[in-house]
Amino acid sequence: MYVPLPVLIAVGLVVLGMAMMLLRRGNARRDLMTPPAALPGTRPRWTPPPASPGTLSGETEAEVWDLLRADQVISAIKLVRETTGLGLKEARDLVDDMRRHEPPPR
């Protein structure tokens, strides 16, 4: 009986694929939504802890006022978001509240 070579290759790949699936099935199923654990010997990426919502340090507040004086509202909102960990709406509201009040004298 003659079987063409491409058919033999296809059957071999199917058998190999099924064997791989059976071997892999023994592993515990992992949750695809959670981030992967850090590899041994590596350190997780550090992010600074956010300040309590709505509070700015004196230095950050001075930087925000400088940006507002220069009419750079978007940069001020970005700075507030980076330093406080607030969301976009909360940071924008905080910057808008600062704009409504008179800035402190330099």
State the residue range of the domain holding 73: 58-100
Integer angstrom CA distances of residue 57 from 14, 22, 52, 84, 96: 63, 57, 10, 9, 17
Q: Has residue 79 been placed in a domain?
A: yes
Q: Has residue 14 been placed in a domain?
A: no
Q: Give the pTM.
A: 0.49
Beta-carbon neighbour count of residue 53 at 10 Å? 12
**Of 89, 50, 92, 90, which is closest to residue 74 (Cα–Cα)?**
92
**Number of structural domains, the chain?**
1
Per-residue pLDDT 10s for the chain (106 aa) are 787 999 999 999 999 998 888 877 655 566 666 666 666 766 655 455 555 555 788 888 889 999 998 999 999 999 999 888 888 998 998 898 888 876 666 6
Q: Has residue 87 been placed in a domain?
A: yes
**Of 61, 52, 58, which is closest to residue 80 (Cα–Cα)?**
61
Gap between the Cα atoms of 79 and 91, Å rounded: 9
Gap between the Cα atoms of 106 and 66, Å rounded: 9
- Provide the pLDDT for residue 22: 80
